[in-house]
Amino acid sequence: MNVLAGKKLRHGENLRSKLLEVFSILYKIYGPQSWWPADSNFEVVVGAILTQNTNWSNVEKAIVNLKRENLLRPLALRNISTKKLAALIRPSGYYNVKTKRLKNFLDFLFTRYGGKLAKMKPNALLTLRREILDINGIGRETADSILLYALEKPIFVIDAYTRRIALCLGLICKESRYDDMQAIFMQNLPHNARLFNEYHALIVAHSKSACRIKPDCLRCVLHNEKRGIR
């Protein structure tokens, strides 16, 4: 499904209002999240690849190792041996697989864009998305995280946190696919990278606070009937 032009999945104005109200409530409770935590756009890319199948605390340990070796630069990371890179990112788990994925992204970056993320930015969102998804080992969530957080493109990231809250609020069903879930946000919110960035970060914050795998619904501000969310 085209993430920008799929068919309407839900109920128009009511859904738009609901999504904006959810954002407003979460923003009021948690405030600005200043996400993604990184010192450079390239660090965001590395973090997005390393965070696959692990939690952020493990990624941070790997990032610290790379910073200590002054390797969070495209050319430096490209030139390091796979063996040394794997050892440095070991805390992130699946380190051999992730080493290959990082190297695959770097091969793409240097072959297509001379090793410079800045040269990617002028290209259209869907063009970049197709290119990144063609990189071996890069899936939709990782690609969209790179697009939104590193390249500031207006695309909504879907992850386990987003699925959990969307399911809880009745926005999706258990069988909903990535593209279906993404379309709900893309079709009913302004296409604004800052909004999508903050919204997704707030979803993550709320998921860690209340809407966990075993949700604490009594503490969930989105379950307050007086707010009319449910």
- Reported as a single tens digit per residue, the pLDDT across 145-171 is 999 999 999 999 999 999 998 988 888
Q: What is the DSSP string of 143-179?
A: HHHIIIIIT--------HHHHHHHHHTTSS-TT--HH
Cβ pair 145, 110 in contact under 8 A? no
Token pair, residue 112, equals 């297509």
Q: Considering only CA atoms, which of 153, 165, 171, 146 is closest in space to residue 205?
A: 165
- Count CB neighbours of 56 within 10 A: 15
Residue ranges and CATH numbers for the domains of the chain are: 12-35+156-227 (1.10.1670.10), 41-150 (1.10.340.30)
At a CB cut-off of 8 Å and minimum separation 6, what does 77 contact?
A: 46, 66, 71, 85, 102, 106
Cβ pair 13, 45 in contact under 8 A? no
Q: What is the DSSP string of 58-79?
A: HHHHHHHHHHHTT--SHHHHHH
Q: Considering only CA atoms, which of 186, 115, 144, 130 is closest in space to residue 52?
A: 144
Cβ pair 18, 229 in contact under 8 A? yes
Q: Give the per-residue pLDDT at 5.
A: 33
Q: Give the per-residue pLDDT at 221.
A: 79
Q: Give the per-residue pLDDT at 11.
A: 53
pTM above 0.75, yes or no: yes
55 φ, ψ (degrees, to nearest 5): -100, 165
Token pair, residue 171, equals 């926005």
Residue 3 vs residue 132, higher pLDDT = 132
The size of the chain, in residues, is 230
- Reported as a single tens digit per residue, the pLDDT across 48-97 is 999 999 999 999 999 999 999 999 999 999 999 999 999 999 999 999 99
Task: Reply yes or no on whether the pLDDT at 182 is more than 70.
Answer: yes
Q: How far apart are the first and last CA of the chain?
A: 28
Distance between CA atoms of residues 171 and 145, nearest Å: 22
